[in-house]
């Protein structure tokens, strides 16, 4: 993988660019993709953004999201853009399996793929150019750095600032994690100098749900939270039936895994959800328990040291049992 700066000369002429992100995109995936989208449009390129799957309604305030193609719904159209692209930017993921049904297409294509990502263990062999940095707070921060390094910092307009701020805020837990470095705050200051109204973005992301989601959170915290004090671990498992009962949609379960970490002493929190098409697992940790390795070892997943995800094609019951066995196997690191 060649350094990402080597792509700048290629951007001097108008190009057909496709930007893709990981499945079920979060604020960082969608924000970085749309931030880069607006920037490349400003530079005169023809740009298309594709998401491997649908996304949460609370991301729909982002300018440009109305043009994002859902690959699962519009495969033929999306493949047309992939086939005619000069460059494919891959944001906020580093293994092709994070793009679900797009993965075989991306594996085969001879198009130039450019990686910008901050997750652990990148598969750099799949990308011709790129920048992988696990110390970065977010892919949005990296897109900001990319824009600054390109020399076109003056092109940052309000939509770019809003999209990038959203991802940085989400991935730093509203600037509380150690990844929210001084340079992250300097970036935010620069975005504010350029006209960003930051409190509006916080409201868009965190005060923009429906009643049913809050009732659902009440239900899972009251009835579904299990605590294994011996292992400093908390688990919430959710059945498909419960998702249907509370009319839970894509994105509504985001953030729920963090609640148990607020309990004194809890080092590992897990959320296991039967999404019908597959079982989705989310893991969060406090301190020195590495959930990236945990997710990779037991749940075909990965992510970051303190925040990772995975999946299982087993039943919910068996997945929970697998989790409990994994927890016990890791007793020495959890106790
Ligand atoms: P979440 O639990 O919110 O879905 O994901 C937490 C973090 O882990 C995010 O940065 C997300 O991109 C990453 N992640 C989630 N699921 C997977 C997975 O199956 N594989 C990998 N490599 N990363 C994942
Ligand atoms: Mn991210």
- Please give the average per-residue pLDDT across 283-296, as a whole number: 97
Q: What is the pTM of this model?
A: 0.97
Q: Report the separation in Å between the CA atom of 119 and the middle of ligand 2, taken as the mean of its atom positions.
A: 7
Sign of CA dihedral 105, 106, 107, 112: positive
Nearest listed ligand to the Cα of residue 137:
2
* Confidence (pLDDT) at 275: 95
Determine which helix (DSSP H) or strand (DSSP E) holds 126, and give its type and residue range: none
Q: Could you tell me the residue ranges of all domains in the chain?
A: 2-206, 212-334
- pLDDT band at residue 139 under the 50/70/90 scheme: very high
Nearest listed ligand to the Cα of residue 32:
2
Rounded to 5, what percent of the chain is helix, strand, coil? Answer: 50, 20, 35
* Confidence (pLDDT) at 168: 98
Evaluate whether 2-206 and 212-334 have a shared fold: no
Q: What is the side-by-side strand order in the sheet with 16-20?
A: 2-3, 129-132, 112-117, 87-91, 16-20, 46-51, 69-70
- Listing DSSP states for 152-198 in one string gives -GGG--HHHHHHHHHHHHHHTTTTTSTT--HHHHHHHHHHHHTT--H
Nearest CA to ligand 1 atom 14: 309
* Confidence (pLDDT) at 22: 98
Average pLDDT, the chain: 97
- Please give the average per-residue pLDDT across 293-300, as a whole number: 98
* Confidence (pLDDT) at 150: 97
pLDDT in tens, 54-95: 999 999 999 999 999 999 999 999 999 999 999 999 999 999
Pocket of ligand 1 (CB under 6 A): 22, 95, 98, 119, 282, 301-304, 307-311
- pLDDT band at residue 284 under the 50/70/90 scheme: very high
* Confidence (pLDDT) at 8: 97
- The preferred substitution site among 92, 309, 323 for testing ligand 1, maximizing ligand atoms within 8 Å of CB, is 309
Q: Which CATH class is domain 212-334?
A: alpha beta
Nearest CA to ligand 1 atom 2: 282
134 contacts: CB under 8 Å, gap ≥ 6: 118, 119, 120, 304
Q: Report the separation in Å between the CA atom of 174 and the middle of ligand 2, taken as the mean of its atom positions.
A: 13
Q: Report the separation in Å between the CA atom of 91 and the middle of ligand 1, taken as the mean of its atom positions.
A: 13
* Confidence (pLDDT) at 101: 97
Burial of 332 from C-beta contacts in 10 A (0-12 / 13-18 / 19+): exposed
- pLDDT band at residue 21 under the 50/70/90 scheme: very high
Ligand 1 atom having least distance to the Cα of 22: 12
The correct answer on CATH 3.20.20.60 for the domain covering 2-206 is: no
The Cβ-side half-sphere exposure at 139, using a 13 Å CA radius, reads 32
* Confidence (pLDDT) at 294: 98
């Amino acid at each position: 993988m060649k350094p990402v700066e080597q792509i700048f000369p290629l951007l001097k002429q108008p190009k057909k660019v496709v930007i893709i992100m990981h499945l079920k995109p979060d604020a960082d995936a969608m924000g970085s993709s749309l931030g880069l989208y607006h920037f490349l449009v400003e530079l005169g390129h023809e740009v298309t953004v594709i998401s491997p799957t649908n996304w949460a309604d609370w991301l729909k305030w982002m300018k440009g999201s109305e043009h994002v193609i859902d690959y699962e719904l519009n495969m033929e159209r999306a493949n047309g853009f992939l086939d005619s692209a000069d460059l494919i930017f891959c944001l906020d993921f580093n293994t092709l399996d994070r793009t679900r049904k797009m993965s075989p297409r991306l594996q085969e294509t001879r198009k130039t793929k450019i990686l910008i990502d901050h997750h652990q263990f990148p598969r750099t062999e799949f990308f011709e150019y790129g920048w992988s940095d696990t110390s970065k707070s977010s892919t949005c921060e990296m897109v900001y750095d990319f824009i600054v390094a390109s020399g076109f910092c003056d092109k940052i307009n309000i939509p770019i600032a809003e999209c990038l701020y959203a991802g940085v805020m989400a991935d730093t837990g509203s600037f509380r994690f150690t990844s929210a470095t001084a340079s992250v705050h300097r970036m935010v200051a620069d975005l504010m100098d350029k006209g960003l109204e930051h409190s509006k973005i916080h409201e868009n992301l965190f005060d923009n749900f429906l009643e049913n989601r809050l009732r659902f959170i009440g239900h899972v915290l009251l009835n579904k939270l299990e605590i294994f004090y011996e292992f400093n671990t908390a688990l919430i498992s959710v059945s498909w039936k419960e998702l249907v009962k509370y009319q839970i949609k894509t994105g509504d379960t985001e953030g729920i895994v963090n609640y148990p970490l607020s309990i004194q002493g809890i080092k590992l929190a897990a959320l296991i959800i039967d999404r019908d098409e597959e079982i989705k697992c989310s893991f969060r940790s406090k301190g020195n328990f590495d959930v990236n390795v945990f997710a990779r070892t037991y749940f075909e997943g990965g992510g970051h040291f303190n925040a990772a995800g995975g999946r299982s094609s087993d039943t919910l019951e068996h997945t929970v049992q697998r989790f409990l066995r994994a927890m016990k196997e890791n007793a020495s690191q959890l106790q």
